[in-house]
Amino acid sequence: MSGGGGGGDENKDGGGRGGNSGGATTIKIKERRRLPDFLQSVNLKYVKLGYHYLIKHLLTLLLIPLISVIFVEGAQTDPDDLKQLWIHLQYNLVSVIICSIFLVFGSTVYIMTRPKPVYLVDYACYRPPQHLQVKYHQFMEHSRLTGDFDESSLEFQRKILERSGLGEETYVPEAMHCLPPQPSMAAAREEAEQVVYGALDTLFANTSIKPKDIGILVVNCSLFNPTPSLSAMIVNKYKLRGNIRSFNLGGMGCSAGVIAIDLAKDLLQIHRNTYAVVVSTENITQNWYFGNKKSMLIPNCLFRVGGSAILLSNKSVDRRRAKYKLVHVVRTHCGSDDKAFQCVYQEEDDVGKVGVSLSKDLMAIAGEALKTNITTLGPLVLPISEQLLFFTTLVIKKLVNNKIKPYIPDFKLAFEHFCIHAGGRAVIDELEKNLQLLPVHVEASRMTLHRFGNTSSSSIWYELAYIEAKGRMCRGNHVWQIAFGSGFKCNSAVWEALRYVKPSPQSPWEDCINRYPVQIVA
């Protein structure tokens, strides 16, 4: 779970937006660059591109002369020498047979034990009905009429809303539209059923998969964990088979969606030739805070209704119709540190009202968790040229000059698309700055936050749907999903597009994508 709004200009110098943008977007240029400086930056740009190209193809460039020499030498070889070599092999037939057996045995072991590819066949994001939308003035008027908030708290919520990056079309559950609000267990179950069944119905309709074909079910919802569990609720609704491996993850925050994918991936390595369904959601009905502690009021302003359902497969036949292949999952847990553990914490306030408190150290802790995560992820995805630059800078910093700034790898060389958890405007701003991304790279995150709010662990799927709806996902493209959650955790999932990906039917963006991107007021 991440939170916190943030200020700052939405559009930064040096970047534009790509794709089929339907809405007008303004790029603010803070200062005019002089021509010599511009030419110098262009030269440096091409020098860097040339360096990356050289390192990437270094092995090929070194092998060409070697192959040429071997070819020339082979052309000059005496035919009698080749005849003698054949006679020698005939007399060593036993050695050849033994080597062949070892080769076949080794190849068989490798094929049988290698990780099974995991394919993302399709996914669906729930879109609530229009009557659940809440505009700013409705939110504030409703908060005032409940009588639970003092003037200071109302003003605080108003400021958070204005700076949050949320638009006027986000959704809150039915119980929060009532006066007074009715956060009952029955209402919470109703919200869960609407979101989960809505996403799953769309997924089954789009993929034509029969519920009986599902062998693995993983559900994650952090704050709502009824008995029977949400996973049991799904088994009952769709009459899933009796030997299904079902799991229900609770209390793991906004990064639990990636954790659920990782769990499903591991299970697909053990149980062959089957499907896994991952459901990611959050429940707001019973977790609205009705007190006046400022750090607990932020989630009220950011969290909104949403959920996703993802269909994974380890069947080789599904590669043809699958959208993506899972490449890497990297998980980082900072829970051993007390500050990190308590930075997103569910507790009672001074008068006994329960809420989720967000620490003022949240962004700093998220930054440290991200550093640890990308330290592990970097060597797996970055080209060797970037790894050499990073290692060289690190050695110089340690041995020569400690004041040298560490080299920040250019992750734009490894990924075409970024899905940063839409936890709040400050989260997106911080990652855009630290990873040196362009506005187009964080567009999906900003627009998802604007249109749907913070939908917790499912936000990264609304973002991926945005990229597809814009027609930007091409064959071979790599996507980096980054999620932060209580505990504190930072988790990453890397996907590779297997084809040009079109948006699936009933996409959450299908009737509004032409209005995006929109300009977000600072």
Rounded distance, CA 289 to CA 309, Å? 27
Could you tell me the two tokens for 408?
């920040």
Q: Which of 283, 333, 373, 491 is catalytic?
A: 333
Largest CA distance in the chain: 101
Residue 328 three-state SS? strand
What are the respective helix, strand and coil percentages of the chain, to the nearest 5?
A: 50, 15, 35
Q: Is 178 a catalytic residue?
A: no
Q: Which of 300, 450, 490, 491 is catalytic?
A: 450
Burial class of residue 350 (count of CB atoms within 10 Å of its CB; 0-12, 13-18, 19+): exposed
Q: Are the C-beta atoms of residues 201 and 308 closer than 8 Å to each other?
A: no
Q: Are the C-beta atoms of residues 301 and 358 closer than 8 Å to each other?
A: no
Q: Which of 417, 419, 490, 491 is catalytic?
A: 417
Q: Output the CA angle 20-24-25, nearest 5 degrees.
A: 95
Q: Is 441 a catalytic residue?
A: no
List, in sequence order, every beta strand (DSSP E) within 173-253.
214-220, 245-249
Q: CA 180 from chain center: how many Å?
A: 37
Instruction: Give residue for tokens 């968790």.
Output: 369
Q: Is 454 a catalytic residue?
A: yes
275-281 β-sheet, strand order? 245-249, 214-220, 275-281, 307-313, 119-125, 324-333, 489-497, 478-485, 417-420
User: What residues does 497 pair with on adjacent strands?
Assistant: 324
Q: Which of 248, 314, 334, 421 is catalytic?
A: 421
- What are the φ/ψ torsions at residue 366 (nearest 5 degrees)? -60, -40
Q: Are the C-beta atoms of residues 306 and 280 closer than 8 Å to each other?
A: no
Peptide bond into 102 cis (omega under 30): no
Rounded distance, CA 300 to CA 157, Å? 8
Amino acid symbol at 186? A
Q: Which of 314, 454, 477, 491 is catalytic?
A: 454
Q: Are the C-beta atoms of residues 145 and 179 closer than 8 Å to each other?
A: yes
What contacts 430, CB < 8 A, 6 or more positions away?
A: 363, 366, 367
Q: Is 131 a catalytic residue?
A: no
Amino acid symbol at 248? N
Residue 427 three-state SS? helix
Rounded distance, CA 55 to CA 383, Å? 9
Amino acid symbol at 349? D
Rounded distance, CA 447 to CA 5, Å? 15
Annotated active-site positions, please?
Answer: 254, 333, 417, 421, 450, 454
